[in-house]
């Protein structure tokens, strides 16, 4: 095993890349967006920054505790509110640290995988063969993307990964509000018992944030998000803004207002095993959906995926 393709530059994919390269296996990571980290996301505006995806992470297991300690020493993670940690200066920082020195090809939405003339795995997007190092000669491929996205990619490629379709992931509408003034939220966040709102946080309460006034992030409940999944972002923003006023004192006209749809946000039913690996075809899949709705689960899954491959190298 000399070169592995990884589809997805979230925490699971980047963790797999780190452990593989430490084991002497080269990797190329394909990512559809311009950024890194998947739901470990930060949006920056002129006056604010919003962690509009994952809000924080905890560390319990030995492996992830060591990783968080390393991030803390590097200045890309810090404690926030009890046993919670956040990326610094934004939630994308840990992902950027994992990606350091790796080959990441951005702007590629992989639509098909196939064997090349030499028998190696080949990556295609809608325009055809992707121009990337090693393409056509990959010894293995990892699908480090949400299970519902991995299923059709595997099927159209004539591949089989048992149990891939059993994972279930809920959507989430996120609302970003530039308050323009300080908004009081005790402890920096709240989780209301409410049919529409699941989470409210002020990003200004997190360490090393560069923001003017409060930068409020709201997450809608899975039920509300499902029922309103196909609404336009502007309509969602208006609806959620009225709901949040029950809990925080937001100005009549916020300095910034935008909604973002996470079609695959929170794991509702996990696979119950660290990763999937088809040794005969040399294709695997990993992600938080394997173990549970936590950043640590994504890290553990990526590590397990790498170890499964390294055991055959």
| pLDDT tens, residue by residue, 57-104 | 999 999 999 999 999 999 999 999 989 999 999 999 999 999 999 999
For 152-190, write each residue's pLDDT tens digit: 998 878 877 778 889 999 999 999 999 877 788 888 999
Taking CA atoms, 87 is separated from 76, 108, 112, 233, in Å, by: 5, 26, 33, 26
Cβ atoms within 10 Å, residue 152:
11
Domain with CATH 3.50.50.60 in the chain: 3-40+93-166+270-310
Domain with CATH 3.90.660.10 in the chain: 41-91+168-269
- Binned at pLDDT 50, 70 and 90, residue 15 comes out as very high
Phi, psi (5° rounding) for residue 194? -150, 145
pTM: 0.96
DSSP string, 104-152: EEES----EEEE-TTS-EEEEETTEE---TTTT-BSEEEE-S-HHHHHH
DSSP state of 48: -
* Mean pLDDT on 20-25: 97
C-alpha to C-alpha distance for 70 and 65, rounded to whole angstroms: 9
Give the residue among 213, 180, 217 at the shortest CA–CA distance from 197. 217
C-alpha to C-alpha distance for 173 and 262, rounded to whole angstroms: 6
At 313 the pLDDT is: 67
| Residue that has been written with the tokens 């589809």 in this structure | 7
CATH number of this structure's domain 41-91+168-269: 3.90.660.10
- Fold type of domain 3-40+93-166+270-310: FAD/NAD(P)-binding domain (3.50.50)
Count how many Cα atoms sit within 13 Å of the Cα of residue 126 in the half-sphere of its side chain.
4
For 201-255, write each residue's pLDDT tens digit: 999 999 999 877 789 999 999 999 999 999 999 999 999 999 999 999 887 889 9
């Amino acid at each position: 095993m000399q070169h592995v393709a990884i589809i997805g530059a979230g925490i699971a994919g980047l963790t797999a890349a780190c452990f593989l390269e430490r084991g002497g296996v080269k990797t190329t990571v394909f990512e559809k967006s311009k950024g890194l980290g998947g739901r470990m996301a930060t949006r920056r505006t002129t006056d604010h920054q919003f962690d509009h995806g994952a809000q924080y992470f905890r560390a319990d297991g030995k492996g992830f505790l060591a990783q968080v300690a390393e991030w803390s020493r590097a200045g890309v993670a810090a404690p926030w509110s009890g046993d919670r940690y956040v990326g610094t200066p934004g939630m994308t920082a840990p992902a950027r640290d994992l990606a350091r020195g790796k080959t990441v090809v951005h702007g590629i939405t992989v639509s098909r995988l196939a064997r090349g003339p030499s028998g190696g795995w080949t990556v295609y997007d809608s325009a055809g063969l992707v121009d990337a190092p090693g393409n056509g000669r990959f010894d293995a491929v990892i699908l480090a993307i949400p299970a519902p996205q991995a299923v059709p990619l595997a099927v159209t490629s004539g591949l089989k990964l048992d149990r891939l379709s059993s994972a279930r992931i809920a959507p989430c509408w996120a609302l970003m509000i530039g308050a323009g003034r300080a908004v009081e939220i005790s402890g920096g966040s709240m989780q209301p018992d409410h049919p529409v709102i699941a989470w409210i946080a002020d990003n200004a309460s997190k360490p090393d944030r560069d923001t003017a006034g409060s930068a409020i992030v709201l997450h809608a409940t899975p039920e509300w998000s499902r029922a309103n999944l196909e609404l336009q972002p502007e309509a969602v923003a208006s609806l959620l803004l009225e709901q949040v006023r029950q809990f925080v004192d937001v100005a009549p006209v916020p300095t910034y207002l935008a909604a973002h749809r996470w079609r695959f946000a929170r794991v509702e039913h996990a696979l119950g095993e660290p990763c999937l690996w088809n040794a005969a075809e040399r294709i695997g899949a990993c992600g938080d959906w394997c173990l549970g709705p936590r950043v640590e689960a994504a890290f553990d899954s990526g590590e397990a995926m790498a170890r499964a491959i390294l055991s055959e190298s």
